[in-house]
Structure 1
């Protein structure tokens, strides 16, 4: 997970530590915290895992000073930024920086803490990427030398006209058995006497013309063979380096190697064999070049991702071989619409990519719209059958503010995903959300849209089974709410829930979900199903005194036993509104309803929360499910949570189960319930066969 933050906190006050964790969660981090109490404990945790960040409170009550922390990190050999947390104004930031801290933040400035942690985390990620790149470079240089040694081409490296390296093919070409015999020998000694003047003139021009560039140049020359006989060859000179020192690579090609063969090899290295378009590797090289030019203000452009709609249906209809013919036809359409300045590639599967100099959104959209119209109007003939298809496309602008290639591809993909919604056959231009409107303006827009959706009944419920791993009777479903736009297309909750929770609309949505869920639960139970619902609540419901009495009235209205409803809240919501949550859960217990904590287990001491809020179910945080089959750390964390929960008579739910391997691991650990798309994705129907897990 890109937002997973491994954190060590040095803070004597556990409540303050939890508040800092909660602050970082609201900043979008998936926090995996540990608390170090003394120097020995710090060393142990540093040796066990590589944290991303250390928060060190400057408090007389702490057993660790800032100097001890930075020294301990250095002794263990870790590279970890340390943020000093001050309880007041009595600390000098210059002294903290001199002691090795990354920055100084006051404890009463959580907004400042978010920004500093984000900067430090990004810096740490960049540092790790740099070290990874350096390691990759060293490995690449090692592999490069291995390839040079085994290459059939005669290759040598020269510095100031003298040989410093030659591979075996080069030695064989000139009749040498040992590379040491060639080291220090002038390259002019390899040239036939009749062409030495030509060679000297070429080298003078090469040194002058190639200064500061990476361009290669070649010369056709006569060289001297092992027996002194001359032979014609082409020598290619390219700037290079060995062990960081600049030099020149010399590649000798025999005239027997025809230019036509070279042309064919070059073509194959750049082309996709199915469509004949450029391949991904070549396209990425061109994209990098284009971004470089754009960020220097030389030329702007657009990146287009184009994807065939519902390609799996086409493959089912015409088969794998037939679908390749469809890809080839689409490729021809793209080529026909591409000008000399466009670069068109088959990127992956049914996805194509285009680089076009049309950088104005309207112009680019019109150009791509013409391509989509041509694709939808084309008839593909496959084994005597006719097939048609449509495509969707997303456009990302490449200008001076262009990000790296991967982020740019992500933007084009997001726009393409938006265009492909519904029946597709559309083109969308990526629009950065941040900065378009203030948060207040965004919230006002979403309040209006949510109100309209409620009034127009454009909300719906989905249900996902929660299944017992140990054969307990009954059916359990988690209830999800989805909102539809004016065209009936689903809007991701991540788009509107943040605004709803910042306004009063979250309470409105909670009440709508509870009312409609209880109505469906009552009907389902009347049909003979022993069903229990898990219903999520937001922080807005905790802050409304009348919510609990209203829930009780709805239970009575629909004649639903309270024990058949489990109300669920995120751990962070409960921690941030602990007093209200404590009273709310106590009220639920009085009417015999039950309570579940979601995203559980990432706090310093998560079970301490049980002293205040008595949860019946603990749904572990989804970060523990990431790469579960290969992560011993995650398996051990789940085992620890499960054992502790069972000791307190709590039931454990593992969400986001995506494969059979994860299921078997969780069964062995002793987890009570599982949930995830491996069993069944959220659906409007409650038709899961719970007996299949018996």
Structure 2
């Protein structure tokens, strides 16, 4: 029993020990399970942290890569910008400059694309820089820099800088100041841009805009601008000046005859001579075409300009050789004075223009000048009205031909007649026909009138032929008509139209016709003579009578002017002149006509001296067609 009891105690002890061990194992397993769970959770947390860390690293790595890429791109962009800047600077022919104001250190960097650049190596401070500026520009450059520093403004100034080849070139210096905290300019940086080519081009363009390309003298634009300056200065100084308008007579004819190259050379010749005759502060300009202007500055109020005008004319009318042809200018000059004739440009130009046309009308063939006076305005107004009336009369058929007979003095027979222009005005007002002809020449209406006279004369000759009257009619040719019309073609057309013999036509020309161009005169008159038309020199002895003309031209008749006939009975000198003309003409087998015979005594003297033909009121006044035919019947053809 004791043994059983001890066994039971041992068994109970073992059971309790086993229970404790089982509880301990359960507790250990519970603890182990708890710790495993904690470890698992920690593990999960660590995994999350690791994942977050990996994402953060990936994000940071990505951002870093982006930053690296951006930095690389920025560096490339910067290099490209610098390259572009350099290209821009080179394209603009610019270099960079930097002036440290406090230290007075002036640095220039970069180079120009042109082989000629600023002498930058010798520039170290601002004074060095200024020394490289052209002396005429230094004051402006220094003022510009001073203004920029004091007012903190951007600077821009154009100046000439000394270049590598020791020549000055135009540059544009631009810059911007940098200020400190006290707003004081401590540095100025900018660029120097080579603008020499642009300035030169602008100069060329400006010259083209203000100077005439052909003659190399100022044009109308320059003239107008200078004229305004002259007016302002003259008003301030109470000084006087003169305006001359100069027009080349018959310049179109020169172009048509010799070509535009010859005309251009004549214009250049006139411009050169005008320049040579004026002082440095006077102005010579070509206003356009064949019109020039001269302004004579600071003239005494009462100074005559006749000598100056004569010098201009003498210089300009000297013939020039163009391809073997000698061509000569003829000038009309009109003058106006400031302030006597006007105080504005428009008024002075108008007055000078009036005077110029007065000079032209008074001397159609030769050079002339005239100074404005108020009476010329009325004269011009009257001429304008008269010109309009002439045009209307030509259209309305108010012009007629009258014929004044030629009488053979030795035989007292009718030899022919001279066609003379008459105006049968509808208002019956008296007409000075010579004044009408002069105005028609001035306005060139004589071209239409002259053509009409030729055809009307041919028509009258045709009627004479139909009446079996063998009669010669003389036609006067105007100098203007002679120069500007193809007379040979006009006569040929009229002759063919009416079917008349050219031997029935005679042309009368004045000596002044030969003065401008005797070669042209010879060609035309020889062509007319070859057709069978006789040539007569009218008003012989009143102009530039010369045997040279009579020898070179196909002249058949010489006509003694009425002024010599008038004094035959009282002036011994007239007798000698008339006798000399008759003897000279006969020595060259030319006939002589005396016009203006009014007395039997004059007729007797002329017949005694051997004059061939007479004309004048002693025989008959000019007669219209019907009366002239009646005269032929009475006198015999």
TM-score range, shorter chain: 0.3 to 0.5
Pick the structure with more helix per residue.
2
TM-score w.r.t. the length of structure 2 is 0.41
TM-score w.r.t. the length of structure 1 is 0.37
Q: Kindly name which structure, 1 or 2, has the bigger radius of gyration based on alpha carbons.
A: 2
